[in-house]
């Protein structure tokens, strides 16, 4: 069975169009149709059916989709292990949302310069869901918070950034006492299901502040926009994102000591794509061969 035909089939399913799949593959629609017919003859089952202006998988096609993805992934793993994908192949990277809006684009920009033949798939999620996906082998690496539990010895970790908690307030309130603002202004909570939100909640308890809660959400950028609009104040990790530059908000240091949010890159030491993963980590300016510190993190190079 030609793996290229399986790739064409998956692309048709993904795009819902023979023409679009052909465009992405730089083939003619007739060539893609011929590949699909060859697959159908070999598997003795119809795989695609016309549904209006789109093409959709048949029942047999649906069953093939997941198996085909697994098979192509296994073939890619074998090539990576044998060294034939040193400069090509693919990586599936999981990421928390704030990394997408801050450090990740710069890391990817450096990575594609040194690995132009590698295709990168990004999947966003919480640290808990990303860690579970790593355990199940669904991701090659994850840009996430350091887990609140001990990492399995099969995983490695490199620290990207540590972010203290700060108070976000409208710029006009930059000189006000942060605890006074927290007691008298509506609070825009960072989601308490997330690590940073839990840290913010612990800070409020430690400071003995009962806030006037107005909103609770998981997007730090949306929180900054709401603060800019005068909807309240918020305790959030001090993220480094250029998207915050356009917001009229002040970051005010908190009087009490607070936990820092530590996030970095997590990967499996046994991954067949370890060379590519190390290339990704190096693109983040990290040392991949250094000794892991006692706190479970690696130090970024040059710091």
Pair 100, 107: CB distance under 8 Å:
no
Distance from C-alpha of 249 to C-alpha of 272, rounded to nearest angstrom: 45
Any idea which residue has 């949302």 for tokens?
Answer: 97
Q: How far is CA 173 from CA 229, 248, 251, in A?
A: 13, 11, 10
Q: How long, in residues, is the chain?
A: 303
Q: How far is CA 276 from the centre of its chain?
A: 17
41: β partners: none
Distance from C-alpha of 187 to C-alpha of 232, rounded to nearest angstrom: 5
Q: How many CB atoms lie within 10 A of CB 23?
A: 15
Residue 175's pLDDT is what?
Answer: 94
Pair 143, 286: CB distance under 8 Å:
no
Residue 295's pLDDT is what?
Answer: 37
Residue 137's pLDDT is what?
Answer: 82
Residue 165's pLDDT is what?
Answer: 95
**Tokens linked to 60:** 């047999």
Any idea which residue has 């942060």 for tokens?
Answer: 178
Pair 73, 120: CB distance under 8 Å:
no
**Taking the chain (303 residues) in consecutive chunks of 10 residues, what is each chunk's mean pLDDT?**
79 86 84 88 86 82 82 67 59 89 88 88 89 87 85 88 93 95 96 91 96 92 93 92 80 92 89 87 62 38 37
Residue 76's pLDDT is what?
Answer: 67
Dihedral, 279, 86, 293, 104 alpha carbons, nearest 10:
30
Going 148 to 150 to 155 to 159, the CA torsion angle's sign is positive
**Tokens linked to 11:** 């692309």
Pair 139, 91: CB distance under 8 Å:
no
Residue 255's pLDDT is what?
Answer: 95
List the one residue out of 170, 185, 191 whose CA is nearest residue 252.
170
Residue 225's pLDDT is what?
Answer: 93
Distance from C-alpha of 4 to C-alpha of 26, rounded to nearest angstrom: 13
Distance from C-alpha of 176 to C-alpha of 182, rounded to nearest angstrom: 10
**Tokens linked to 26:** 């730089």
Q: What is the CA radius of gyration of the chain?
A: 24
């Amino acid at each position: 069975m030609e793996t290229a035909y399986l790739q064409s089939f998956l692309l048709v399913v993904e795009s819902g169009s023979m023409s679009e799949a052909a465009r992405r593959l730089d083939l003619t629609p007739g060539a893609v149709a011929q590949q699909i017919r060859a697959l159908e003859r070999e598997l003795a089952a119809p795989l695609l059916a016309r549904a209006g202006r789109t093409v959709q998988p048949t029942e047999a096609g649906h069953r093939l989709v997941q198996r085909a993805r697994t098979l192509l992934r296994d073939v890619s793993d074998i090539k990576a292990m044998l060294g034939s994908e040193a400069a090509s192949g693919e990586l599936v990277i999981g990421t928390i949302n704030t990394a997408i809006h801050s450090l990740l684009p710069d890391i990817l920009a450096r990575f594609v310069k040194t690995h132009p033949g590698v295709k990168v798939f990004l999947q966003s999620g919480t640290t808990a869901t990303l860690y579970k996906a790593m355990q199940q082998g669904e991701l090659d690496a994850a840009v996430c918070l350091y887990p609140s539990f001990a990492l399995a010895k099969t995983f490695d970790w490199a620290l990207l950034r540590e972010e203290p908690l700060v108070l976000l307030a409208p710029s006009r309130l930059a000189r006000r006492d942060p605890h006074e603002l927290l007691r008298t202004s509506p609070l825009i909570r960072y989601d308490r299901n997330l690590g940073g939100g839990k840290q913010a909640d612990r800070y409020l308890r430690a400071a003995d502040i009962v806030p006037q809660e107005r909103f609770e959400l998981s997007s730090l950028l949306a929180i900054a926009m709401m603060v800019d609009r005068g909807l309240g104040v918020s305790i959030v990790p001090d993220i480094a994102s250029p998207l915050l530059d356009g917001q009229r908000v002040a970051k005010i240091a908190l009087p009490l000591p607070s936990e820092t949010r530590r996030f970095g890159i997590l990967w499996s030491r046994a991954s067949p794509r370890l060379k590519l993963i190390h290339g990704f980590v190096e693109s983040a300016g990290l040392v991949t061969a250094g000794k892991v510190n006692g706190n479970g993190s690696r130090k970024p190079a040059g710091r």
